[in-house]
Amino acid sequence: MSTDSAPLHPNEALKSRSNYLRGNLAEVIADPLTGSIPEEEVQLIKFHGSYLQDDRDVRAERRKKKLEKAYSFLIRVRVPGGVCTPDQWLAMDTIADTWANGSLRLTTRQAFQLHGVIKSNLKTTIQSINQALLDTIAACGDVNRNVMCNPNPHLSELHGQVLQTARDISAHLLPHTRAYHEIWLDEEKVAGGAPEEEPIYGKTFLPRKFKVAIAVPPSNDVDVFAHDLGFIAIADSEGKLHGFNVTVGGGMGMTHGREDTFPRVADGLGYIPADKVVEVAEKVVLVQRDFGNRSDRARARLKYTIHERGIDWFKGEVEARLGWTFEPEAPYAFSSTGDRYGWVKGADGRFHLTLFIQNGRIKDTADYPLKTGLREIARIHKGDMRLTANQNLIIAGIEPDDRAAIEQLIHQYKLYRGLHQTGLRMNSMACVALPTCGLALAESERYLPTLVSQLEDVMKECGMRDDEIVIRMTGCSNGCARPYLAEIGLVGKAPGVYNVYLGAAFNGSRLNKLYRDSVPQNNLLPLISAIIRDYSISRRPGERFGDFTIRSGYVKPTRKGPDFHDEIRYKEYQI
């Protein structure tokens, strides 16, 4: 149900006639005449965790030669809470080499991505992933996505409970259709085409993607306010899970040039006891299912439903379906969105090692055998591997007696590089962008490391080598590396051209704001260096970079979603 009188977006009819996400997927995947699939199935395959892409580096050349685009598929593997076993890591490592482009991507949502899987290998690859007891169901599409949670194992009991909560929410919100099992795993078809039950989603699923995260204060590593639905864990006096503050209506995506689209930080709904969490997640999803915009996909996320109808209306709808009311929010405080790097000893005496992984890319280079090193660790490791929301990796649960062997491998494969980077780099994130992302307007993963190196020189010169500034880049305005919550946000506008955003809070509670529109790549270094130099001289004790840029008048603070664009009007007025 949508209250919008505008015609439904074509994807709504497409979902409806797909017979619960089957469409002609099985047939078109088997067609050997092309590396591509038709548009209808391009939309449907997302619900199965995959995207059709092409290598954009060779697009022009192939067009000239009148060749089909260099098509391949992205596969996203769901990892609730980011936790997998060493065996699953090894399986992903092998699959990346055998069927994909040889690298693994740890995503900003604690999942794995494979790139470059050609159509004829798609089914085998998905089967191999399932053999490792992982899957790609609902990793993309208009459904609930990978559920994130704080992966810091040293928080022991509380963390264990939060991880279980993430898994419970994930399982509860999975689609029920057997389409995935039929198409990819050769399960027998539902007898006689009998109608299936899709109790939460119905035939047309959600108006748009839906994202859930659980944060454990004081860490806001999951960027809980960027989520459609967020839970902030509240512990009792013994450090055990007591309940959650619930947040709704966060999101990052916007469209350049459309001021009615904007990033938004979530609103609070109140506090709930821990055992109510799955029920609340379901009801929030149901309200969005029934009232989300199904006409304009750029305005279809929960944040717009709440922006238009108001948080009080939304809370009332959720409470009416629950049959009980939220308690007032419990006190909590966030300190940062970053990861805690290096070795830490947990309450149970086991060790955990967090490594910085640049942009989440796991591959070997001539002087940095990262992929091989992690493979060797996974071979002997008895704990688990944890993907963080900042694209990093925790080798978790190392018994004291096993630490020396892991340290030896860290040394042998130079993995200590993931421990000794500057404060700026350790707080950097870039989305994938070119060459695989079909929506990229500019480089991101392939460019940010270079820009960071240049800015590092300035930081060192200012005596700020280890000072933390959160810097994030994306190749377009969709916000996949959550750039609007970065103290320095760089968002691709065109090839070699970026918008520069400043003024987000270090703890992820305030969005940034546009500082300069359409800056050519070569001007980024002088532009940002000048502000860093000013910061090094004029900052107050303990003042964060984002707060400084507001106090010093570089940008005005963004209080909520729509005023994210205020500065643009202000700038136009100045001109």
Residue 514 pairs with which residues in a beta bridge?
501
Q: Rule CB under 6 A: say whether 478 interacts with ligand SF4.
A: yes
DSSP state of 418: G
Interatomic CA distance for residues 332 and 539, integer angstroms: 27
3-state SS assignment for residue 38: coil
Interatomic CA distance for residues 179 and 190, integer angstroms: 9
- The stretch among 273-281, 306-314, 400-408, 473-481 that binds ligand SF4 (CB under 6 A) is 473-481
Q: Rule CB under 6 A: say whether 146 interacts with ligand SRM.
A: yes
Interatomic CA distance for residues 469 and 467, integer angstroms: 7
Interatomic CA distance for residues 460 and 532, integer angstroms: 11
Q: Rule CB under 6 A: say whether 476 interacts with ligand SF4.
A: yes
Q: Rule CB under 6 A: say whether 431 interacts with ligand SF4.
A: yes
Tokens of 567: 């500065």
* Residue of closest CB approach to ligand SRM: 253
Residues numbered 165-184 forming contacts with ligand SF4, rule: CB under 6 A: none
Give the gyration radius of the chain's Cα atoms. 23
Out of 9, 15, 159, 301, the only residue in the binding site for ligand SRM (CB under 6 A) is 301
E-strand ranges in 161-315 read: 212-215, 229-235, 241-248, 267-273
Contact 102, 93 (CB under 8 A): no
Half-sphere CA count of 289, side-chain side, radius 13 A: 19
Q: Active-site positions?
A: 76, 145, 209, 211, 431, 437, 476, 480
Q: How far is the CB of 161 from ligand SRM (least distance, A)?
A: 22
3-state SS assignment for residue 347: coil
315, interface contact from ligand SRM, ligand SF4, none, CB < 5-8 Å by kind: none
Q: Rule CB under 6 A: say whether 499 interacts with ligand SF4.
A: no
Residues numbered 363-422 forming contacts with ligand SRM, rule: CB under 6 A: none
Out of 52, 100, 378, 432, the only residue in the binding site for ligand SF4 (CB under 6 A) is 432
The residue type of 312 is D
Out of 437, 486, 500, 532, the only residue in the binding site for ligand SRM (CB under 6 A) is 437
Interatomic CA distance for residues 103 and 369, integer angstroms: 12
Q: How far is the CB of 42 from ligand SF4 (least distance, A)?
A: 15
Q: How far is the CB of 291 from ligand SF4 (least distance, A)?
A: 26
Out of 51, 515, 548, 564, the only residue in the binding site for ligand SRM (CB under 6 A) is 51
Number of residues located near ligand SF4, criterion CB under 6 A: 13
474, interface contact from ligand SRM, ligand SF4, none, CB < 5-8 Å by kind: ligand SF4
Q: How far is the CB of 177 from ligand SF4 (least distance, A)?
A: 26
- State how far the alpha carbon of 477 is from the alpha carbons of 61, 262, 489, in Å: 27, 10, 11
Q: Rule CB under 6 A: say whether 74 interacts with ligand SRM.
A: yes
What number of other Cβ atoms are within 10 A of residue 298's Cβ?
15
Q: Rule CB under 6 A: say whether 28 interacts with ligand SF4.
A: no
Nearest to 71 by CA among 27, 40, 113, 115: 115
CB closer to ligand SF4, 76 vs 289: 76
CB closer to ligand SF4, 86 vs 483: 483
Tokens of 460: 């060192």
Out of 67, 320, 380, 439, the only residue in the binding site for ligand SF4 (CB under 6 A) is 439
Cβ-proximal residues to 186 (8 Å cutoff; 6+ apart), any chain: none
Q: How far is the CB of 142 from ligand SRM (least distance, A)?
A: 9
Q: How far is the CB of 343 from ligand SRM (least distance, A)?
A: 26
Q: How far is the CB of 426 from ligand SRM (least distance, A)?
A: 17
CB closer to ligand SF4, 25 vs 440: 440
Task: State phi, psi for 335 to the nearest 5 degrees.
Answer: -105, -40
Q: How far is the CB of 424 from ligand SF4 (least distance, A)?
A: 20
**Secondary structure of 130-195 in HEC code, one letter for each residue:** HHCCCECCCCCCCCECCCEECCCHHHHHHHHHHHHHHHHHHHHCCCCCCHHHHHHHCCCCCHHHCC
476, interface contact from ligand SF4, ligand SRM, none, CB < 5-8 Å by kind: ligand SF4
CB closer to ligand SF4, 376 vs 443: 443
Kindly list the residues in this chain that would bind ligand SF4 in the complex (CB under 6 A). Answer: 431-433, 437, 439-440, 444, 474-476, 478-480
Kindly list the residues in this chain that would bind ligand SRM in the complex (CB under 6 A). Answer: 51, 53, 74, 76, 107-109, 111, 113, 145-146, 209, 211, 226, 251-253, 301, 360, 431-432, 436-439, 478-482
